């Protein structure tokens, strides 16, 4: 759920530093602020990846590697690589992998310029990191490039809060309560003030699906999770 290069060196450096600074509290806050539901969202992503015979998987914006490790647990014979540009996050991910004795390669990399040849992976996942890209479409095109023909892209992301009463309540929690609690616990208020802004600026689920199609993906589908708090998008490379 961490970040990738944002295009502007100044902005990238600021965001990289911000997420690196909260790395030690990151896993606890994710679970606490999502009321523990984030694990079920990742579990659904893992199942979706393995609807196809994926044996080489790239997890972009891997953060502390929660999704990468979940993928490896599900299929121990798969090669799983996680990339992120916040090294403190990767360091924690490596510690978690070592503790579980799971062989997951975690490397620093820019999600807009992935250091892999064309057609390298059977599947590519990204959990709550796409909204931090300076150019969503460029990211999708880069994902398409490194996937093999027949490969699958699975995106987890926070869409803008839904309409209706629940959406209003969630917007209040997201805009007021979450930044306050996250800031108090982590001591880094700017990180949890940034989060709601990045979500509100992210494309709606149907718009993201259209962007995936324009990047070359087909068989695109998406599903809202937990009343629209999260969304999972799936697309295949033809």
Structural domains of the chain sorted by starting position, each given as residue range(s) with its CATH number in brackets:
9-160+203-237 (3.40.50.150)
Quick one: pLDDT at residue 34? 65
| Cα distance between residue 36 and residue 22, in whole Å | 19
CB 132 within 8 A of CB 157: no
What are the beta bridge partners of residue 134? none
- Count CB-CB contacts under 10 A for residue 133: 23
Neighbouring residues of 96: CB distance < 8 A, sequence distance ≥ 6: 64, 65, 69
Quick one: pLDDT at residue 161? 83
pLDDT (tens place) for every residue of the chain, 238 residues total:
443 333 334 355 655 555 555 555 555 555 655 667 889 999 999 999 999 999 999 999 999 999 999 999 999 999 999 999 889 899 999 999 999 999 999 999 999 999 999 999 999 999 999 998 989 999 999 999 999 999 999 999 989 987 778 777 877 877 777 778 767 766 666 666 777 788 889 999 999 999 999 999 999 999 999 888 899 999 999 9
List the structure tokens of 64: 């502390």
Please, how many CA atoms are within 13 Å of residue 122, restricted to the half-sphere of its CB?
14
């Amino acid at each position: 759920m961490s970040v990738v290069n944002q295009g502007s060196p100044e902005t990238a450096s600021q965001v990289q530093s911000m997420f690196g600074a909260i790395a030690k509290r990151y896993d606890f806050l994710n679970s606490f602020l999502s009321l523990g539901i984030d694990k079920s969202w990742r579990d659904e992503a893992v199942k979706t990846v393995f609807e196809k015979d994926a044996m080489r998987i790239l997890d972009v914006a891997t953060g502390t590697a929660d999704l990468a490790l979940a993928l490896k647990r599900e299929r121990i014979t798969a090669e799983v690589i996680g990339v992120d540009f916040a090294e403190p996050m990767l360091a924690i991910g490596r510690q978690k992998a070592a503790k579980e004795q799971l062989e997951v390669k975690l490397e620093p990399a820019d999600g807009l310029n992935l250091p892999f040849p064309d057609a390298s992976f059977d599947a590519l996942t990204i959990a709550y990191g796409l909204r931090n890209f300076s150019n969503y479409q460029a990211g999708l095109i880069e994902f398409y490039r490194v996937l093999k023909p027949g490969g699958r892209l699975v995106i987890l992301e926070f869409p803008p809060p839904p309409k209706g009463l629940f959406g209003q309540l969630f917007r209040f929690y997201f805009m007021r309560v979450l930044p306050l609690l996250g800031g108090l616990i982590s001591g880094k208020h700017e990180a949890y003030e940034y989060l709601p802004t990045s979500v509100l600026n992210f494309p709606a689920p149907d718009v993201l699906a259209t962007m995936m199609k324009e990047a070359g993906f087909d068989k695109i589908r998406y599903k809202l999770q937990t009343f629209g708090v999260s969304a999972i998008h799936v697309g295949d490379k033809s």
